[in-house]
Structure 1
Amino acid sequence: MASKLSNGGDLPGYALEMDGVTKIYPGPAGVTRALDGITLGLARSTFSALLGPRGAGKSSLLRCASGMDQPTLGSVWRPAGSSCSVTTALPGALPDTAFTLSAGDGASGVRASCSRRDAGLEIVLPPARRGFGDSSTNGMRFEAVPDLVLADEPNSWMPESDVPRLLTGLRRLADLHGRTVLVATSRPAVAARADLAFMLSRGCLVDAMFAPTPEALERWVSHA
């Protein structure tokens, strides 16, 4: 039976529901099962992480969650009228629905734009100086922030010293601005900033952890 994104209902308290989502990609050497029966829900105004190694299916899950890709089987649901954006770490590779990621260079504040500017959200890491940015979001600036923010390895393109500020800004999107954030990452330290971490391996959700710690996630990664 064909599956499609469902965005016409209203499930109180949730920003995203995925039910039995399987994604299969055809290829010259046969099919690749990128996702296998994914079922999860994201409560509104929460910060969640999707932790897994490269090739685990993180990007495929985000693409299906956003509606950029249709699942082969299963269903994806978001509240009626909600907005959703996806970002990736690769400059120039973002779809029209992506939001802008820009970084100040830490000295002059010159912004290096890494995506399109026409989708309504801009994240800026400015120099630490008075009057630049927004203190409530740790220097991050927002225009029309989407209801559901899906971030695919958002820290991999920036200097390590800027990563804590980016994560704090994403954290505050949920805590102060009521947005729902899902960050896909291969790094336990990044996933540990979330309220809830989902563990993904070979296209399957294999575990989940509330209030995750770097140490507990490191142990899971070492045994995955």
Structure 2
Amino acid sequence: MNEDAIRLHSVSRRYGAGDSEVTALDQVSLAVPQGTFTAVMGPSGSGKSTLLQCAAGLDRPTSGSVVVGGTDLTRLSETRLTLLRRERIGFVFQSFNLLPSLTAEQNVALPLRLARRRPSRARVREVLEQVGLGDRARHRPTELSGGQQQRVALARALITRPEVLFGDEPTGALDTHTGREVLNLLRAMVDAEGRTVVMVTHDPVAASYADRVVFLVDGRIESDLAGARADDIATRMTKLEAAPC
């Protein structure tokens, strides 16, 4: 039986105060079982990125709790929260965020160096092989295609063996073919290695790679779909975007 990798309980996130206060998340409760792939979708401004940031410990909720692997993030100091993100959580974003002066293997090893841990060359090569870039270890970002750069970013996220991998539009800057390659890698990590992946996306095809799609509207979970096809997801999104405010 799967345990939950992530649990959000009555999470709200508000910005500003008084008349200018904005509620980005409103009493959101969500459980993500270990070894599953979850996609988060919703209209623009629905709170998708805020949900991801709170679940990953990048932002603190105004109220409610976020538990990752049994640890309540809302109770941690900033120092302990930083350590947890560094050691137990991986991130892949739409922008690759690679350092142009470093080779692929140096970019991959960077999280370990920042944690003052000596990176094993064998481990670095292992994750580069895992994403299909074993022969590009000494190439710099300018010598790699966009898809290859995103795979380096994925390898960098995997180097610490994170409990959960978060992706914020990880295929948004890629062409269709390359994006599918990255999605197949994420899917394989869940199926073959039992990793947990949570991904924000606007693309119904990308979301169809997930086990479950969670739909947000106005900071609240409106519905979800399990094992859905891309056309079913697109239909649901069209209805949500067309719904009256």
Please state if 1:51 is matched with 2:56.
no
* SS state at 2:193 partner: coil
* SS state at 2:20 partner: coil
Please state if 1:154 is matched with 2:170.
yes
Which of the numbers 63, 71, 79 marks the counterpart of 2:61?
A: 71
Q: What is the alpha-carbon distance in structure 1 between the residues aligned to residue 19 and residue 189 of structure 2?
A: 42
Asked whether the equivalents of residues 108 and 159 of structure 2 are also in contact (C-alpha less than 8 Å), the reply is: no
Of 29-38 and 82-91, the range deviating more from structure 2: 82-91
Amino acid at match of 1:154: P
2:81 aligned partner: none
Give, in angstroms, the shift of residue 157 of structure 1.
1.5
* SS state at 2:111 partner: coil
Aligned residues: 191
Q: What is the alpha-carbon distance in structure 2 between the residues aligned to residue 177 and residue 39 of structure 1?
A: 27
Shift in CA distance, 118/216, structure 1 to aligned 2, threshold 3 Å: same
Alignment root-mean-square deviation, CA: 3.3
Shift in CA distance, 144/116, structure 1 to aligned 2, threshold 3 Å: closer
Asked whether the equivalents of residues 16 and 41 of structure 1 are also in contact (C-alpha less than 8 Å), the reply is: yes
Q: What is the alpha-carbon distance in structure 2 between the residues aligned to residue 16 and residue 143 of structure 1?
A: 20
Identity %: 25
* SS state at 2:50 partner: helix
Please state if 1:15 is matched with 2:5.
yes
Please state if 1:187 is matched with 2:177.
no
Shift in CA distance, 37/68, structure 1 to aligned 2, threshold 3 Å: same
Amino acid at match of 2:5: A
2:27 aligned partner: 37
Q: What is the alpha-carbon distance in structure 1 between the residues aligned to residue 19 and residue 234 of structure 2?
A: 34
Please state if 1:60 is matched with 2:50.
yes
Give, in angstroms, the shift of residue 161 of structure 1.
1.9
2:237 aligned partner: 221
Shift in CA distance, 101/216, structure 1 to aligned 2, threshold 3 Å: farther
Q: Which runs of 5+ in 2 are unaligned?
A: 72-83, 113-123, 137-150, 241-245
1:178 aligned partner: 194
Give, in angstroms, the shift of residue 144 of structure 1.
2.7
Greater share of helix: 2
* SS state at 2:236 partner: helix
Please state if 1:87 is matched with 2:89.
no
Amino acid at match of 1:153: E
Shift in CA distance, 172/125, structure 1 to aligned 2, threshold 3 Å: closer
Q: What is the alpha-carbon distance in structure 1 between the residues aligned to residue 17 and residue 168 of structure 2?
A: 24
Q: What is the alpha-carbon distance in structure 2 between the residues aligned to residue 16 and residue 196 of structure 1?
A: 14
Give, in angstroms, the shift of residue 34 of structure 1.
0.7
TM-score between the two structures when normalised by the length of structure 1 = 0.73
TM-score between the two structures when normalised by the length of structure 2 = 0.67
Which of the numbers 198, 220, 225 marks the counterpart of 1:209?
A: 225
Greater share of strand: 1
2:180 aligned partner: 164
- After superposing on structure 2, the runs of 4+ consecutive aligned residues of structure 1 that deviate more than 3 Å are 120-127, 138-142
Structure showing greater radius of gyration is 2
Which of the numbers 100, 110, 113 marks the counterpart of 1:118?
A: 110
Amino acid at match of 2:22: T
Q: What is the alpha-carbon distance in structure 2 between the residues aligned to residue 36 and residue 86 of structure 1?
A: 24
Amino acid at match of 1:44: Q
Give, in angstroms, the shift of residue 173 of structure 1.
1.4
Asked whether the equivalents of residues 125 and 165 of structure 1 are also in contact (C-alpha less than 8 Å), the reply is: no
Q: Which runs of 5+ in 1 are unaligned?
A: 1-11, 93-99, 103-109
